[in-house]
Amino acid sequence: MSGVSARVVAARLLVPVINGEGSLASLDAEIAAQGVAERDRGFVKALCFGVCRAYPRLEALSAELLRQPLKRRDSDIQALLLLGLYQLLHMRVPAHAAVSETAGAARGLGKDWATRVLNGCLRRFQRESVALQAKVDRDPPVALWHPAWLLKALRQAWPEAWQALCAANNDAGPMTLRVNRRRVARDAYLERLGAAGIEATACHYAADGIQLAGAVDVHQLPGFAEGDVSVQDESAQLCADLLAPALEGRDGARVFDACAAPGGKSAHLLERFTLDLTASDIDPGRLARVGATLERLGLDARLSALDASSAMLAETLGHAPESADTAAPSAGFDAILLDAPCSGTGVIRRHPDIKLTRRASDIGELAALQARLLDNLWRQLAPGGTLLYATCSVLPAENAEQIAAFLARTPDARATTPEALAWGQTAGHGRQLLTAQGGHDGFFYARLEKVAD
Strand order in the sheet with 200-202: 200-202, 209-212, 176-179, 229-231
Mean of all residue pLDDT scores within the chain = 94
Q: Identify whether 262 is preceded by a cis peptide bond (ω within 30 of 0).
A: yes
| Alpha carbons 245 and 50: distance in angstroms, whole number | 42
Say what the pLDDT of residue 217 is: 94
pLDDT at 313: 81
Q: What is the pLDDT of residue 3?
A: 59
pLDDT at 396: 98
Beta bridge pairs of residue 449: 386, 414
Confirm if 75 and 60 have CB atoms less than 8 A apart: no
3-state secondary structure of 333: strand
* Stated pTM of the model: 0.94
Cα separation values, 159 from 156, 323, 436, Å: 6, 42, 16
**Which pLDDT does position 325 carry in this prediction?**
43
CA angle 349, 350, 352 (to 5 degrees): 60
Q: Is 304 helix (H, G, I), strand (E, B) or coil?
A: strand
Beta carbons of 276 and 382 less than 8 angstroms apart: no
Q: Is 392 a catalytic residue?
A: yes
* Residues lower than pLDDT 70 in the chain: 1-4, 315, 318-331
**What residues does 430 pair with on adjacent strands?**
427
What span, in angstroms and rounded, lies between the C-alpha atoms of 44 and 107?
18
Query: Which residue, 453, 48, 441, is CA-closest to 233?
Result: 441
What pLDDT does 254 receive?
A: 97
The whole-number pLDDT of residue 311 equals: 74
191's enclosing H/E stretch is helix 186-195
List 52, 121, 259, 392, catalytic entry: 392
